[in-house]
A and B are shown apart, each in its own frame.
Chain A
């Protein structure tokens, strides 16, 4: 037998009580994790509304009907409240078989990173993309589909239009953060235009498929949409401009105070759990005050008795903490996994490791606070008096 045996047996004295106390702590720590992760929910919503600042302009009758003049880009860039403009042109290249379709665009290497910031393309790779005319950025899923590696040369063929065959060097992979990003294939427009030189006479070089632009603030979005579409309404190439997401930016200011209230409630729950756990610890010590007196009689010093009893509370609290923070970490990070489309609002939680560590510390603190007073009281017990009460 060891001291650890003694602690363990004491915990198993009243199994139901030990289990319930552990679960109460686990539950409250889970709650704390969720509450401390709430700011990340707000950030996720903010990110989505930032996407709401992005507009797409294309031909009034659709992207597949016809392109729009490249010259529009400069005109739109000049509009008030428009911060960034980039453009994409459909290439329609195929790799091996026509059925292995994936979207590929010639893009403006200089501006693409500013507008498609949610593609999370590495800054260094973007720099290289601007410099190397035949470079290509490819979505993760398309890379995997064809078994491509970074640095590999690939050749795409564009059959129906100009019968172009272009070779690219893959310099970077686009993370699969959205369905669009996962499959896309991007290369610099300069390379495309060189290849199109022989067809300049057909007006092939002055066209783009669509423009993407950023507006400075949510409230200016409707105005910018009308301004663009009005500008080209009576031209030979009228346009339609759309937001990618409808957004809820106005809610966000009130969201902050709700978070504060919910966090407060969460911590009050923890405080309540501390009181309940302290009562439980006090009860479990009181029940065996006679045994404590015997231990002290046979020579267990204050500090040893204190440590022995406090370890019980710390053990319960630590297990409770792990049972709360562990599952919380997995459940509240499920939004990052492939389950995310099925999780609804849960997908907006992203629990950082720091929250897990903090909540484990909190659990240990709960054990301390709950255990310290009863353990101290028992450790300071006057043996002679306690033994009298035993008989």
Chain B
């Protein structure tokens, strides 16, 4: 369960104050796939960063599972993210000098796994995203959709409970976007991950369990449960 309780995030730019989030409260049950939606600048990424332990709220409480993220130091947050959160970005952000499988192995460098075990885990993650046969390709030898799948493999390789994705389909065509969305849905249904995704993509509605709508830093609809056919 992810619990966001009366969270605000204030940015100061000189004398100006930007209320990126204002008094937001919401709950995301374990093993659900949720979307954060809303216009540009409404605070979606800000909220996602708070949930993922990349940023701290100005006020309010962020709890993920048993862990209260408030007041953790930078290093403590880093250690927590390494163990519990998988990240997917809009522009994939793979390391260009590493092959697909090596990119997937990067998060495992922070674990105590032996080299051979790191390779095994990475191979498994790559086969889950359907890229076992492309493991020695460099990112620039892969299509956008394939790169995003490598990034998803990198996000799940440490087997985190929570996957966060900021506009994962923002740079993909319809076909690839559908592939990525169903893959994320599969992570939820087959591997019981909690997946939190920021998106502008209306197509996403068909895949997620729930959407949260933000507008100017305020949650406007509470939660909209989505009916699946």
Contact = CB atoms under 8 A, between A and B. Distances in A.
Nearest to A305: B78
Interface stretch (A6-14, A19-27, A169-177): A6-14
Size category of the binding interface on chain A: 20 to 34
Interface stretch (A84-92, A291-299, A366-374): A291-299
B161 interface: no
B15 interface: no
B107 A298 contact: yes
Contacts of A3: 109
A1 B97 CA distance: 12
B89 interface: yes
Contact of B102 (A1, A12, A13, A388): A1
Contacts of B81: 297-299
A294 B93 contact: yes
A310 B95 CA distance: 18
B97 A387 contact: no
B97 A13 contact: yes
Contacts of A163: none
Interface in A1-59: 1-3, 5-6, 9-10, 12-13
Given A6-B109, A302-B75, A383 B93 contact: no
User: Which 4 residue pairs are nearest across A and B when measured between Cβ atoms?
Assistant: A299-B82, A9-B97, A384-B55, A1-B102
Given A6-B98, A384-B49, 14 more contacts: A1-B98, A1-B102, A1-B115, A1-B118, A2-B109, A6-B95, A298-B82, A298-B86, A299-B78, A300-B78, A301-B74, A301-B79, A387-B45, A390-B89
A304 to B, nearest CB: 8
Interface string B93-123: 1011110011001110110000100110000
A10 B97 contact: yes
Given A6-B109, A298-B107, A384-B49, A291 B102 contact: no
24 contacts: A1-B102, A1-B119, A2-B115, A6-B98, A6-B109, A9-B97, A10-B97, A294-B87, A294-B89, A294-B93, A297-B54, A299-B107, A300-B78, A300-B110, A301-B74, A301-B78, A302-B74, A302-B75, A384-B49, A384-B55, A387-B49, A387-B54, A390-B93, A391-B90
Interface of A: 1-3, 5-6, 9-10, 12-13, 290-291, 294-302, 304, 383-384, 387-388, 390-391
Contacts of B95: 6, 9, 291, 294
B209 interface: no
Given A294-B89, A390-B91, A299 B97 contact: no
